[in-house]
Structure 1
Amino acid sequence: MATIRKSRIATSFKYHTAQAIPEFSLERLEWSGSDDDLKSVVSHSSISSRGRNEATKIPLTEGCFVTKQTGYYLEKAHWVNPVRKNAQLKYEVELLLKGLHIVPPNFNLNSTSNLAPLDRNLHYTLDKLGFFAVTCSIATLRDMISLVEKENKIWQANNGVYPRRLILEDLELLNASYEFVLLHPRHFLQHNGSGLPVYTRVENGVSGKFYFASPDGALRAGPDNDQDLLPPFATEGRPEGVALLNPFLVVIHAGIAFRRFKKLSLPPLCKHYEELIKLTLDLVEKIYFEPILDIVDENRAAYRRSVYVKYSDGDVAMTGRNSRTGTVVKRPGPDASHEERVGYSLYLMSGCDYINDDDEEDEEEDEEEEDEDYDEYDDGDDGDEHENGKKDS
């Protein structure tokens, strides 16, 4: 905010403290009058104070999920978000994910397994514009599909008295590789010759390389279709006690983006991207195994009934403004099809980190409600988790 002091324009804006990063030989940088409330790179301002505290568990040494560039400007992106910042709805989404057996029992949406650092431009174009999506690599998707198919058969053989083991000790899935799927190349890279810089760690620092939108719409090492695609990438190692990124949550996020993209009836993408989309949607369908979803829906309905007995305000008001589906999906009735119930479940988890300007007032009220009421719905475990479901000490 600008002001006038001694006939000169001045500002009362306070710089944030730049935290020390010993691994990069960077000392703490604190300005006179710095705002020391934020202890590390934080998410977009729409994330509640509770979310900011959770986000600090990802170290500053972890670079952008896609480009691997480090920096204080990185934001923490959620892969699964409730469509509205409401404590009741947030808990219902967590209940859904736990019922599908793709997160451990002590999971919450601010767990580091649901977070990844992203460059601000990438975060916004992913979150609010849908110019690209990130899914698992073809090899990882096939491994995940095989695992889910096997677990679905075991679940059926045990007549449902069996939790699918989708998040346990499988190190291949915990170290999953991911791929960048460019959905709107001309909007993402608007000028001929503009590219996305991607970095790799080398002995004395990083080495950068630009990737461009080729005529077939893919992100390649050069402007021609015969150039190499941006290769699969992995998350950087995280300290002990900080959960790795959960690939199932990334796939859920990508599935929402791909379902919406396919409704646009645009020309097909390159063959590699089309294969990624096909496998991603196939995996999402298997995650939402119909007999399991029936039980999950029953449990969610029982939860809503218990909440409405205690709180007489009724159902949560929904809005399409903060949904990456771009619409409002009504809660399915008792005769709804499996596809309608899957669509509604995906809608519940399609919320954005970035909030539209006309949502800001509502969001402030919701954040206050979440800070005050979250414990009514939480399982009492604010700790982060390993992917095997064990709480960190």
Structure 2
Amino acid sequence: MHFQPFSLLLGVPPPHLVSATVAIPAPAIPGYLTDDGKSSELSSGASGSGSEQSAQKEALGLSRVSVPKFARVCFVQNGANAVAQVAHVINTVRSSKTRKETVNSFIQKTLQINFDRFGFDLDDESNILFPGLCPRIHSSWNFYSLLALVPSLSTLTAMIEMLERMNIEWQAQLDERGVKGLTPRPLEAAALAGATYEVILLHPEHFLANGAPLPIFDSTTNQWVCYTVQDGELKDPSGNRLAPFQDPADPAVRRAALNPLFFTINAYLKIEYHNSRYSSQFPSCTVEIIELIKKLYELIYFLPAPQLGSDGWEIDEAIRLLEMRKTAERKRKRSEYGPRRSPRTSSPLAKSRGSPSGDDREERVDTHKLTTENLDRLEEIIVEEHVKAASSLVNDPKTPLEERMMLGAWFFSPCAGPYPPLTKGMVAAMSSSSEMGSRYVTS
């Protein structure tokens, strides 16, 4: 009994049949996308006899192997792959729903790097590789960080030029109108057109080990080209680097273009983690890309602060003084007429217990009773305090850039611990927030 190699079903010739460049057309399998973007379906009824259909199925190896109804195309290999896995650029896995919502708010309201102004969350299509990644590339990228998917040199340069220009306009707007009149960072959606991406290897000795090839489909020549790791880069048999590629997803299907700034954040975190633990000598092209990624990452974290003496600064000072007067007036009225009755003390639950503070006693955490429930709740309170303090610091333009970048990396990393890094700002914030927070930080 003869079975067709499963790799042929995926449009990938087995390694022992490939020496260099193989002219194999894109697979015309039912439900898959052909080169012209049309879905190929097997003939039925009047279009062909049963024997012809059987022969067609046998030629495609479909007689005993089921084929998925809808095709998936690997983002890197650019070919149909039945086992391609959908992936998020910025990971959505978080320890809690609150942590995930904080990351959403950090992207949309603080960094303001989402091009769609109608709302954003981590499941937005601009953050999803919905054509998918083949398992080898997905695990090497997402789980082991053997490689990084990065914007190409041309895209990085274009993004840097755009953010430098936009940040200057953003700062000028703040100096003119103040914080209350500040509009979102003026990103240009046109910059997404024609964005291309590359693959850089962080651990070339482990990716495609022992000379294993990575077949990539070249739609311009209608050929599969096998790339191997040479001198720390992916190269074809002629020694040419893997060229930058575009998102293979159909623009008519994708509702939002991929955001290169999300790839920049993902790549920066992988590179920083790699450099903190390993000493690698990268090729010159990879070094150039890494330097541009670091520069773009800093521009992403830019927050405008009003310059002393500007119109915006005077407006903000006037608003601050007005708020101080309102606060002082409220305090004066409370001292004159007495404190208002707490809404909690008038609740039916509190009245039923015959004590105005009965309801409060139920909600307070008794730290003297070291039960598992109390310890878990105490841990939750401490974590919440740290998250609030970190969120406040990254939203403050006065926080040093390096500190904001460290806290931002903690927000973005799904594998980070429950507590943010103890920067100077975090220590000061937690020490002044509460006695419990102070004890935790200094312990």
Give TM class, smaller chain. Answer: 0.5 to 0.7
1:185 is matched with which residue? Answer: 204
Taking a change above 3 Å as real, the CA distance of residues 245 and 333 of structure 1, as seen in their structure-2 partners, is: closer
Task: Select 2:183's aligned residue among 156, 162, 185.
Answer: 162
SS in 1 for 2:206: helix
The amino acid of 1:197's aligned partner reads: P
CA distance in 2, matches of 1:291, 1:240: 37
CA contact (8 A) 2:125 2:254 kept: no
Structure 1 residue ranges without an equivalent (≥5): 1-17, 28-39, 42-58, 293-308, 318-329, 353-393
**RCO (CA 8 Å, sep 6+): is it higher in 1 or 2?**
1
CA deviations on 1:166-209 (whole Å, 9 max, x unpaired) are: 252x1x42320111001111101111x31211112258xx4210
SS in 2 for 1:24: coil
The amino acid of 2:264's aligned partner reads: V
Q: For 1:232-247, what aligned pairs fall within 5 Å after superposition?
A: 232-236=244-248, 237-240=250-253, 242-247=255-260
CA distance in 1, matches of 2:220, 2:392: 55
TM-score of the superposed pair, with normalisation by structure 1: 0.61
CA distance in 1, matches of 2:383, 2:139: 26
CA distance in 2, matches of 1:157, 1:336: 20
Q: Alpha-carbon deviation of 1:331?
A: 4.3
Task: Select 2:286's aligned residue among 252, 268, 273.
Answer: 273
CA distance in 2, matches of 1:332, 1:263: 25
CA distance in 2, matches of 1:127, 1:280: 18
Between the aligned residues of both structures, percent identity stands at 28
Larger Rg: 2
Q: For 1:1-393, what aligned pairs fall within 5 Å after superposition?
A: 20-21=31-32, 23-26=38-41, 60-61=70-71, 63-82=73-92, 84-99=94-109, 100-103=111-114, 104=116, 105-116=118-129, 117-159=132-174, 161-168=182-189, 170=190, 172-191=191-210, 193-201=211-219, 206-214=222-230, 216-222=231-237, 227-236=239-248, 237-240=250-253, 242-291=255-304, 313-314=380-381, 331=390, 337-351=400-414
Taking a change above 3 Å as real, the CA distance of residues 291 and 60 of structure 1, as seen in their structure-2 partners, is: farther
Taking a change above 3 Å as real, the CA distance of residues 176 and 202 of structure 1, as seen in their structure-2 partners, is: closer
Taking a change above 3 Å as real, the CA distance of residues 121 and 98 of structure 1, as seen in their structure-2 partners, is: same
CA distance in 2, matches of 1:83, 1:338: 26
SS in 2 for 1:133: strand
Q: Alpha-carbon deviation of 1:247?
A: 1.2
CA distance in 1, matches of 2:215, 2:31: 26
Taking a change above 3 Å as real, the CA distance of residues 333 and 101 of structure 1, as seen in their structure-2 partners, is: closer
The amino acid of 2:162's aligned partner reads: L
SS in 1 for 2:224: strand
CA distance in 1, matches of 2:92, 2:264: 16
Measured on the aligned residues, the alpha-carbon RMSD in Å equals: 3.2
The amino acid of 1:210's aligned partner reads: C
Query: Normalized per residue, which structure has more helix?
Result: 2
SS in 2 for 1:125: helix
The amino acid of 1:102's aligned partner reads: I
The amino acid of 1:186's aligned partner reads: E
